[in-house]
Structure 1
């Protein structure tokens, strides 16, 4: 199905501070030696590297290495290693925005053609797990690579003495571990894309607005889903019109909330659905007090839309902050 042309538009341009910060980063990366220093820091993404180590690796003076590291620290492309105050490593911003520049040899671990898995004969729960893991690790691995690891791991476990009910859980854990090992071998950080789930009653109004807004604001930095506890037949026409006014589109036909959606979500945002959403440990739960737009006039729907846009803006800031501090 063709992707709507405005799916990844942003609702507002960069603010002055963000533009200045990114311009400073780009300015630093136009200097070849500074870029080489950043790539040297990336050689050990966890422990980092000292300026002496950078100098030795690049055959430059210690003073030059210190100056370049200082530039990277100043524009927040590098941080001090949490385990060694004398070592430095690329920041989350550096990995997220510019890793293809300073790690040209590690573009994606799977560079050869990966066979497509024939899912006939595999349980639906394993196929669903493959889809979910592919979404979570899509910025590091291709879908084909992740699916191959899931299929191979399941094949290894299905004939073992492990109880059948525990196999999916073990597959999930082992595949995540194996992907981490491959990423480490290729000196590439295993980036998990956080999953956000918006839930309301009908999945025809509030959760559709939130879905559209987050897709536009965060783009590929998050996976987004929406669902309803009692889904309506279609998205409310007035909601679709109000979204179109600001260049947004809803997330498709209303869907019923499934337990698997909650299990995979990192952030779960509920809007008016009470206690219908199961509570699981390790998730960030938010309950937004948002008026149901269904049945309102167009002006009323616009007010709801603008309210949700404000809430989503705050959520994006929270997600980005958590990722920059290694929490998400």
Structure 2
């Protein structure tokens, strides 16, 4: 068995929350050996580590440090005094229940921003009925009977593709002049690498036309659990060597990246960004699904799904533009 003992690594946490890995092959104490030799205890140790990190994620400053001290004290004064598996099971279960605030298993996701808002609570139900393996960075979860509907888009006819693409390209304010990339983009549209659509969003009670362009992207790949930077760098380097045809084949399973812009030139360019678009009770929202990638403690965070729901609004005045503001944030509990 080659398993990280989360309880022991927590004991090694610094004041900044960094952790050192501890291999079961190096287990030294009786408690460590008991955990490593018993699959039930190993699972409890992992469950407790997950519960600890989830709770710690919402704490900052003094509260975070106090929580760290409390966990260290539990390890020293409670867990490490056990001499039997029965004792360890009992104290682990008690600690997990104490951290989670309930005996029943936690749902997949919990709200970290937007508690009490109807749209946030409604989308939480969608997330918690969706198996984690079905979540994609580029794709929607099952919205059936949820109150959410995917925004409908219509593909632009072939004879209008490049005309609309030029408009999209200029609105997005890409730095390279369109004429220099026109031939490549035309070839990619012919291949199906790029596809362009038109649709309508409801923003500030009004119907607003938008252009959507889709394409395969490395960002649609959900990295496996482990050292994020190792996986990400290797995948990025490999992605750059792939032909358009291979990238397109990849997208059949991973989905495609979707970029948007408004067709109203009076609104700020690049105003809509990217993501999955949905309608809910007359409002338009953008869904962003990712795995945390910016934390230093990659072993703690890699493989953890994070979901955010952004609401579109329109400011009034001479500088009228679409504003995308975060309405809901969700954290994956396991």
Question: Do they fold alike, i.e. is TM over 0.5?
Answer: no
More strand by share: 2
Q: Give the number of the structure whose alpha-carbon radius of gyration is greater.
A: 2
More helix by share: 1
RCO greater where, 1 or 2, for CA within 8 Å and sep 6 or more? Answer: 2
Q: TM-score, normalised by structure 1?
A: 0.22
Q: TM-score, normalised by structure 2?
A: 0.21
